[in-house]
Amino acid sequence: MSSYPDFQAQGYEVTRELGRNREGGRITWLATNLNTGQQEVIKQFCFAQAGSNWSGSEAHAREIQVLKGLDHPGIPSYLHSFETSDGFCLVQEYIHGSTLAEPRSFSPAEIKQIAVKILEILVYLQNRIPSVIHRDIKPENILVDEQINVYLIDFGFARIGSHDVAGSSVLKGTPGFIPPEQMFKPTNATDLYALGATLICLLTGIKSTKIDQLQDEDDPYLIKFRHLLPQLSLRFIGWLEKMVQPKQKDRFTNAELALESLKPLDVIRVPGVDFSETVLEFQAYKLGEKLTRVIVIENPIPDTLLEGKWEVAPHPQDPPHTPDNHAWISVTPAQFSRNNIRCQVEVDTSKLMADKQYKRQLILHSNAYPASHTLMVKVQTAALPIEKRKLPYWRLIAMFLLVVGGAVGGAMVMAVYLAVCLAVCLAVEMIKEAKNLFTNILILLILGLGISVGTGIIIGFNTFILLALNATSLPALSMLVYPPLKRRKLIAKYRQSEESLIKP
């Protein structure tokens, strides 16, 4: 004879038992709707069942009250309810899934996915007016199907706004998943503690009934689990530790903040990136020179492998390029899978303008956190490849005036002689300091011009003096005027050729 209850009068045929809570006087059945043929869940509340230590009617009424107002894909829909001889029955949508308490392996990424979806449900509940606090989140009350769709069930202990189950002295929730404030003043942070404890069970493989093994001896609300999860990222561990802080002020204040903090985190421990330098400076001394620098990248996180790929950040002055090919910057190797790597950065200045400073950014895309790291590249190109003659103009003028002035102001031949000697000594000294033939010739011409002018003033500008003046002044003048004109012309020609080069 079947031990299943007979609900055919209500239009249902029970097919199997899904779960039982004897202390709460609740049994969950899977049944077939005789009118539609659909499978539905019947939660039976037996108020006078032997072994139950509270009436159960309060939970039934509360669950109906909560479920009637909820509409979320992660919460099984409330269909209807009916009375029985010893209590009530609540009928809900049937989910083809299993609870997190049942043996099943999830990857860390899947566990994060479950956490995100439960938090999304909690955000929905907390944003309702009035808000809903579940107060009994645990592995047994979370269903997951094959596609990792997640459902939150059993709202029998839920609190709506500031209203609680009147007159009940029963501790709402499951030991090990209850934060200190839940008995008297639950808040939006209350369900986060229970969710954190649930995630710890999934990650460590500890059953919900054994979570007391992780509780601190001095503070049973403090769950210690970090030592069991060395493979997880420290940022995710920190997030989970914040979820289960005994003091609610140390937790996230609500599900929305917890969700926002969780989404960018990697669950598995990820590599880190340390650069030997973050600014690469290049100085070119020759036009078209190729410059290289070596940068060292290290991964300081043990038991991880750093994988990276270089890219030159787009710049408005650079020609269009792909991440693998840039016009004048290259990195070797362009990609790598090592924890200690020396990369050579090469800059080809033949495509750059002379005497300019360039700034570009190198981006390392990697499996580290954050996923992208940026380096600054500064390049100072060589000066213009046009000789700039530095002539001792002031000393040339002084030498010229010394000779002429000595001749003009000297009444005696000795004075003229001394002035000329001084000018000659100055010329000799300037020739010693000069580094090229051009300057030496110019010095001698200026000296000769000064002597010719001075002599002409003394004895008169006869034919020989005029010839001497022409022989010295014309070459000197051309040597003083021609180089700047030539340089200006060459610079203009070079600047015209730079139109095809890349601008800073």
Within this chain, domains 97-269 and 274-380 share the same CATH topology: no
Q: State how far the Cα of 419 lies from the Cα of 335, in Å rounded to an integer.
A: 75
Classified by CATH at the fold level, domain 1-94 comes out as: Phosphorylase Kinase; domain 1 (3.30.200)
Rounded Cα distance, 252 and 313, in Å? 37
Backbone angles phi, psi at 429, to 5 degrees: -65, -40
242 in Cβ contact with 228 (< 8 Å): no
The verdict on whether omega for the bond into residue 370 sits within 30 degrees of 0, i.e. cis, is yes
Question: What does the pLDDT look like over 272-290, one tens digit per residue?
Answer: 999 999 999 999 998 889 9
Q: For the segment 202-261, what is each residue's pLDDT rounded down to a tens digit?
A: 999 999 889 989 988 888 889 999 999 988 988 899 999 999 999 999 999 999 999 999
The CATH code of domain 274-380 reads 2.60.40.10
Query: Do 83 and 61 form a contact (C-beta atoms < 8 A)?
Result: no
pLDDT, averaged per 10 consecutive residues of the chain (504 residues), comes to 83 91 77 95 75 52 74 91 85 92 91 97 93 90 94 79 42 65 78 95 92 86 90 92 94 96 91 94 91 95 90 92 88 95 95 92 92 95 70 61 54 44 51 59 69 72 77 76 74 70 88
Give the domain ranges of the chain: 1-94, 97-269, 274-380
Residue with tokens 């937790």, as numbered in its chain: 251
Which residue type occupies 91? V
97-269 — its CATH code?
1.10.510.10
